[in-house]
Amino acid sequence: MTEIGKVGIVGLGAMGAGIAQLSVEAGVETVGREVTAELGEQARDRIGHFLTRKVEKGVLEAAARDAAMSRLTLTTELEELGGCDLVIEAIVEELEPKRDLFAELDRIVSPEAVLATNTSALSVTEIAAATSRPERVVGMHFFNPAPLMPLVEIVRAELTEDEPFDAAFAFGERIGKTPIRCFDTPGFVVNRVLIPLLNDCIRVLDESRVSPEDLDKGLKHGAGWPMGPCALVDLVGIDVHVHASEALYEKTREQRMAPPARLVAMRNAGLLGRKSGRGFYRYDD
């Protein structure tokens, strides 16, 4: 099995920075690539902020925080990822940019390196097809926020071989996640179940003329959900949910996958949930 001694993260937005944080905390040398040095520094600051909060809460020693931060190297050049044993892509959730990136990484990294995409809804097989080594491409779908959510789906594409698949699974365990194995089907496991279920919940808002507050109370106290569907969609981001729903509907043509008109209208109005300060609820923090 490939020994993962050095990891590259392409894209240091919310997901990429969270994955980088997990990697450096686990003792892994990590190279984070962003398109500008400023964006890279912003990501480093976010990682440092979250690790400092852990120190303040007494769950991490200051020396361990400093050691973790020292393992993070920033770059704007893809070529700097050439020595990585695993490269995880966390860029925009669009197929062509991902395929273009994987074609570039294919040229840069060693033939033994594992290439992984963090896509939540796109086909890992189609992304892998942009490379000359699709057998070494896997999906590693982390959930947001990556440092807190325990799950990572390890996705086998059509041509993925056992060794890189097992290496990605082992890396998920190494960084403290609970990995599960699955195949490259639309939505993988969690989103294949959760997205149509959330869409059903949102449609009930109009059909039953129930308030978001009461719908959330119903699912929390009647079905044991830790968070109501409206609050969950606000947390995920209404734009993110709509995008994932559209991608799944395109693949499956199942009506339950299509985003409800109410969510599309909210997305178009800029009501994106927590990230915009308003979705089904208002947020002041």
| Active-site residue list | 120, 141, 153, 191
- The residue assigned the tokens 């704007």 is 76
Residue 198 in contact with residue 191, Cβ under 8 Å? no
The rounded distance, in Å, linking the Cα atoms of 285 and 282 is 9
Residue 89 · residue 170 · CB < 8 Å: no
- Output the six-digit token pair for 236: 């995920």
- Torsion, Cα 114 31 29 42, to 10 degrees, reads -130
220 contacts 94 by C-beta, under 8 angstroms: no
Peptide bond into 145 cis (omega under 30): yes
Of 191, 189, 187, 193, nearest to 179 (Cα)?
189
Determine the length of the chain.
Answer: 285
Question: From CA 11, how far away is CA 90, in angstroms rounded?
Answer: 5
